[in-house]
Amino acid sequence: MTIGVLALQGDFREHARMTLALGADVRLIRQPEDLRGVDGLILPGGESTTMGKLMGSFGLDHAIMECFNNGTLAIYGTCAGMILLAREIQDRTDQPRLGLLDVTVRRNAFGRQKESSEEDLAVEGLDPRFHAIFIRAPVIVRTGPEVKVLAAVSEGPVYVQQGRILVSSFHPELGTDTRIHQQFLRLAAQSHTQEV
């Protein structure tokens, strides 16, 4: 199985390292043609405005939407990746995004960097709790009917799934616990063989 990691900006190397350690083939994605033959795609943490603009300038936005809509591509977005996948961004209607996930996100929902935090988070299907690192993190403030909430904090959902899309506000790639990445690899494997 080949997992692509969008490598325009952000902590793509940490995602690549964790995914590689789990036995997948990993490819860094910088051009539309890099997406050929990829089963899953990770949109890393970073600055969502930067990645959104670069995706648009180099045609990756259309290429990703094409692979998702006309294929079986599974996508996992962390933090900035969650924002890029959201249908709506609160108070930022003009920010470039893919809009594949039927949610509204609020950027920097906890506040600025001094409110960045880490905590043991209860996640559906994971025992013990997952140590989650939130950095200027977004939360979801509206979920569509197809969206399943897998973890939430008092501000709102922070880990959700909609079919072949998985997103988290927090950064599993900055820690050593690989369980979230394992969930994504299973999702990518399933979507490859059957309709999710």
Partner 1 sequence: MAETGTTRVKRGLAEMFKGGVIMDVTTVEQARIAEQAGAVSVMALERIPADIRKEGGVARAADPGLVEQIMEAVSIPVMAKVRIGHIAEARILEYLGVDFIDESEVLTPADVTYHIDKWQFRIPFVCGARDLGEALRRVSEGAAMIRTKGEPGTGDVSEAVTHMRSVMNGIRKVQSLLEDELVVEAKNLGVNVELLREVKTLGHLPVVNFAAGGIATPADAALMMTLGADGVFVGSGIFKSSDPLPRAKAIVAATTYWNDPKVVTEVSKGLKEGMSGIDARTLAELDKMQVRDN
Active site residues: 79, 171, 173
Nearest to 79 by CA among 148, 10, 22: 10
**Closer CB to partner 1, residue 13 or residue 186?**
13
Q: What is the DSSP letter of 174?
A: G
Q: From the CB of 105, what's the least distance to partner 1, in Å?
A: 12
In degrees, to the nearest 5, what angle opens at C-alpha 72 toward C-alphas 24 and 74? 50
Instruction: Point out which residues bind partner 1 (CB under 8 A).
Output: 7-14, 30, 45-47, 49-50, 53-54, 57, 79-80, 92, 107-108, 111-119, 133-136, 153, 171, 174
**Closer CB to partner 1, residue 14 or residue 61?**
14
Whole-angstrom CA distances from 192 to 1, 97, 129, 195, 196 are: 9, 25, 29, 8, 9
**Closer CB to partner 1, residue 40 or residue 172?**
172
Q: From the CB of 139, what's the least distance to partner 1, in Å?
A: 13
Q: From the CB of 20, what's the least distance to partner 1, in Å?
A: 16
Helix (H), strand (E) counts: the chain: 5, 12
In degrees, to the nearest 5, what angle opens at C-alpha 35 toward C-alphas 34 and 39? 135
